[in-house]
Structure 1
Amino acid sequence: MNGDLRSLIDMAEAAHDERIIKSGLKSFAISFGFERFAYLQTDGVRLRTFNSYPVKWQDIYLGSRYSLVDPAVTEAKRRMETISWTADDWRARGTSEFKRFREQAIAHGIRSGVTIPVKGSYGSVMMLTFASSEKKADISRFEDRQKAIQAVLAIHYRLKIIAAATIVAPRRLLSPREAMCLMWAAKGKKVGETADVTGINPRTVQHYLDSARRKLDAATVPQLVAIAKDHGLV
């Protein structure tokens, strides 16, 4: 197992696009008896995912905000250790929303799996899941917790680097002042509030935000924040 995890880590660190990472994760999943993988990053109510689940299931999962009731996510975040799970153990849970989630997951071939959670910065959590349509998942292959954490972090940082390098061209990179004002905007600060905490004149703060909007082709500051988050800039 260690050698295979090492290969997964090496693959992530050498990958130059998302296609290579997705292909490597698919091959890894299949070699250990799984059919799907999902990388997930949660930050409060915000959710990012990179996975090989059916597109229809992705739309249902995100649209219904199932990460709030998904035991693979909630249990992994609560325990912060590698867990195995199976939908057959979820039957006792009572809400209609949960029952609907369970039925739809099984219908889309998500019945059991292994989830590896890792704490990120500013309260975020990253997790990597390998899922199967079978009734039971074997966690014994994932007993080396340290190697599993390294694999999740390698994938996380490589995806961020790829996003910054391939989506944001050099001419569109933000200056330090633009990035600082954008960071405060991402935290919900208005122009005047950003001016107060940074000591920059409000008109200058607005200038930096306008400049950042032009570089990232954003029409508004909320859109600027959304694009920057998608690109891993904040």
Structure 2
Amino acid sequence: MDADLRSLIDMAEAAHDERMIKSALKSFAISSGFERFAYLQTAGAEIRTFNSYPVGWQDIYLVSQYSRIDPVVTEAKRRMQMFSWTADDWPARGNSELKRFRDQAIEYGIRSGVTIPVEGSFGSTMMLTFASSEKKADISKLQDRQKAIQAVMAIHYRLKIIAAATIVAPKRLLSPREAVCLMWAAKGKNGPETAMLTGINARTVQHYLDSARRKLEAATVPQLVAIAKDHGLV
């Protein structure tokens, strides 16, 4: 799992659009035994969310302002350290708003998971959650707290950079693997070195670089790196 977290961090830092970050998070979630992910940033009553939860649940959550009572958000702000949770521990009786929240979350497949909170600037909190529809999620593969925090920070800052970046034509967008190989090339690594660092076959690394060259209309890898830097892709 240490290698998977490292890969998630690398892919987040190499991403040049939200689609790539979402793809990296989805892959990590599935490989770790989860079904969904949610990145949430809170600052006072304001929230920003970036997730793979069902659209129906996202609408209910935002319209009902559930971040006010969400036990996961509350616990994240209180503890400021990685923790596991299960909706079965939340209040299950009566007609309270919290019970409605619990019942709706379970209905949409958000029943258990693990959350990594990080304190931000100006009273803000960033948190990354991986969720499962199971009664109790298996978190045995998510134990490296330090790398988990690094992943949250990488995603947070990359999203900020992406928001301010120049828009690139869709046909020139790189895939997550192309971007990772490009990032290592920009750091001076050759094909075999990149293969060793990423666990990707050397010939496949070359395939990703060739594909990236075609998309950015570069004749060589050094030219590819230069063009990517000009477009803010690395």
Return the TM-score normalized by structure 1.
0.69
Give the letter aligned to residue 105 of structure 2.
A
Rounded to whole Å, the distance in 2 between the matches of 1:25 and 1:144 is 16
* 1:147 maps to 2:147: yes
Q: Which SS does the other structure have where 1:74 is aligned?
A: helix
Q: Deviations over 1:62-97 (max 9, x none)?
A: 111111111111101100110100111113676610
Tell me if structure 2 keeps the 8 A contact 1:36–1:52. yes
- The corresponding residue for 1:63 is 63
Q: Deviations over 1:96-119 (max 9, x none)?
A: 100000010001110001000001
Aligned CA RMSD, in angstroms, stands at: 1.6
Rounded to whole Å, the distance in 1 between the matches of 2:121 and 2:93 is 32
Tell me if structure 2 keeps the 8 A contact 1:41–1:124. yes
The runs of 4+ residues in structure 1 deviating greater than 6 Å are none
Rounded to whole Å, the distance in 2 between the matches of 1:95 and 1:48 is 28
* 1:130 maps to 2:130: yes
Give the letter aligned to residue 165 of structure 1.
A
Give the letter aligned to residue 39 of structure 1.
Y
Tell me if structure 2 keeps the 8 A contact 1:112–1:132. yes
1:189-228 pair list within 5 angstroms: none
* 1:83 maps to 2:96: no
Q: Which SS does the other structure have where 1:142 is aligned?
A: coil
Q: Which SS does the other structure have where 1:140 is aligned?
A: coil
CA apart distance, 1:9: 0.2
- The corresponding residue for 1:31 is 31
CA pair 95-120 structure 1, distance change in 2 beyond 3 A: farther
Identify, as 1 or 2, the structure richer in helix: 1
Q: Which SS does the other structure have where 1:122 is aligned?
A: coil
- The corresponding residue for 1:12 is 12
Rounded to whole Å, the distance in 2 between the matches of 1:22 and 1:40 is 13
CA pair 160-68 structure 1, distance change in 2 beyond 3 A: same
Give the letter aligned to residue 139 of structure 1.
I
CA pair 83-95 structure 1, distance change in 2 beyond 3 A: farther
Give the letter aligned to residue 120 of structure 2.
G
Unaligned regions of 5+ residues in structure 1, if any?
168-234
Tell me if structure 1 keeps the 8 A contact 2:8–2:151. yes
Give the letter aligned to residue 14 of structure 1.
A
Q: Structure 1 residues 93-102 or 1-10, which shifts more?
A: 93-102
Rounded to whole Å, the distance in 1 between the matches of 2:20 and 2:152 is 15
Q: Which SS does the other structure have where 1:126 is aligned?
A: strand
Tell me if structure 2 keeps the 8 A contact 1:84–1:113. yes
- The corresponding residue for 1:53 is 53
- The corresponding residue for 2:113 is 113
Aligned length: 168
Give the letter aligned to residue 131 of structure 2.
A
- The corresponding residue for 2:100 is 100
CA pair 10-68 structure 1, distance change in 2 beyond 3 A: same
CA apart distance, 1:2: 1.2
Rounded to whole Å, the distance in 2 between the matches of 1:69 and 1:115 is 16
- The corresponding residue for 1:2 is 2
Tell me if structure 1 keeps the 8 A contact 2:39–2:51. yes
